[in-house]
Amino acid sequence: MAEKDRKLFVTTCSLHRILITQSRGKKMAKSIVIFNYKGGVSKTTTTFNLGWMLASKGKNVLIVDADPQCNLTALVLGYKSGEEFSNFYQRNTGQNLKDGLKPAFESKPTLIKAIECVHVDGREGLFLLPGHLGLSEYEVTLGLAQELSGSITALKNLPGSFKYFIEKTASFCKADYVLIDTNPSLSSINQNLVMTSDYLVLPTNPDYFSVMAIDSLAKILPIWHSWAEKASSLPLLKDADYPFPKPDVKFLGTVIQNYRLRKGGPTIGFQTWIDRINESVSSKLIPALNDANMVMPMEIYKNAELEDDFCLASIPDFNTLVATSQEKSVPIFALSPEQIGRTGVVLAQTLETRDNFEAIFSNFADKIIGLTEDESCD
């Protein structure tokens, strides 16, 4: 970096720290990370449908695609190929998560700034921060930075950069909520996103592997929290251009989905696994998270009408409606009769199913609002 650029960068960073100090206490968007390292639990579908429903209730919502597979971006934009992504990146230079982080990860002599997000067609107040197929290129470097080793001096700006960039962009969109879609892994990026978010939602399927994942997360999440506590206390990271924040993530609850119905309820086989998930959450996950200060006061959950199993929503399999929703780039509950493309009795039954889905997600969104507004006033 040239000496002139270096001096300008240092001056800009000093002003940046002053602005951070002055902005403390201002209302910020509530960030909710949708995370489970188990795959196939409908994280992307949950993010999209919940974001749309929150927006329909008058909230400004930013949905963030932090999965290098970019399923959320593909869903919103209707993309089916890598070529379509390449064309999008060329037409909208810098307007994605990876490019927005370049000043930190590629040592650019400029500060991270907000980007103009994509307005989601058909839903006022809903915005997308697009993902990038190359986001995983930052994985190794971030992992090194988060090991808190002697090499961190040169990488001090990385751990706080995700939080800073997402907050700046959310503020630009005037977002009330930020929903972050993650990839199915225990990656350093996911570790960072979980520990720098305000809230955590855990999607699950009623099966053996979800029970295993919950049991594992009861051990992993407290370890991540301990790491974040240590990181936030390091002078090097506290004084970085993008300071790493003290962790304050709180568990909101689980979502159980993709099960078959019979006579108005889950089949016996699925109900067995639902019960085991709820038991594992209550007896293992919650005590572990409580010890790590990742659980809100119990009265907040009760005020939001959550049961002892901490289940925010129970969502059965809606079969072909999911595929139709993805094809049309709208939530299941926003599908029109024309988009569904059926007639007569079949259409009537399908519309009833669609409306049931809407009721489930409306209740889900109400619980999210109740939990986060109650907690913020606590």
Question: pLDDT tens digits for the chain (378 residues)?
Answer: 444 443 333 333 444 433 443 343 456 899 999 999 999 999 999 999 999 999 999 999 999 999 999 999 999 999 988 899 999 999 999 999 999 999 999 988 789 999 999 999 999 999 999 999 999 999 999 998 998 654 567 799 999 999 999 999 999 999 999 999 999 999 999 999 999 999 999 999 999 999 999 999 999 999 999 999 999 999 999 889 999 999 999 999 999 998 888 877 899 999 999 999 999 999 999 999 999 999 999 999 999 999 889 999 999 988 789 899 999 999 999 999 999 988 999 999 999 999 999 999 999 999 999 999 865 444
> 149 with 230: CB under 8 angstroms?
no
Looking at the DSSP assignment, which residues form a beta bridge with residue 15? none
Structural tokens at position 112: 């991270």
> 62 with 168: CB under 8 angstroms?
no
Q: How far is CA 23 from CA 27, 167, 189, 352, in A?
A: 9, 12, 26, 47
What is the β-pairing status of strands 61-65 and 126-129?
parallel
Report the distance separating Cα 187 and Cα 180, nearest Å.
15
Q: How many CB atoms lie within 10 A of CB 212?
A: 12
> 198 with 30: CB under 8 angstroms?
yes
> 367 with 304: CB under 8 angstroms?
yes
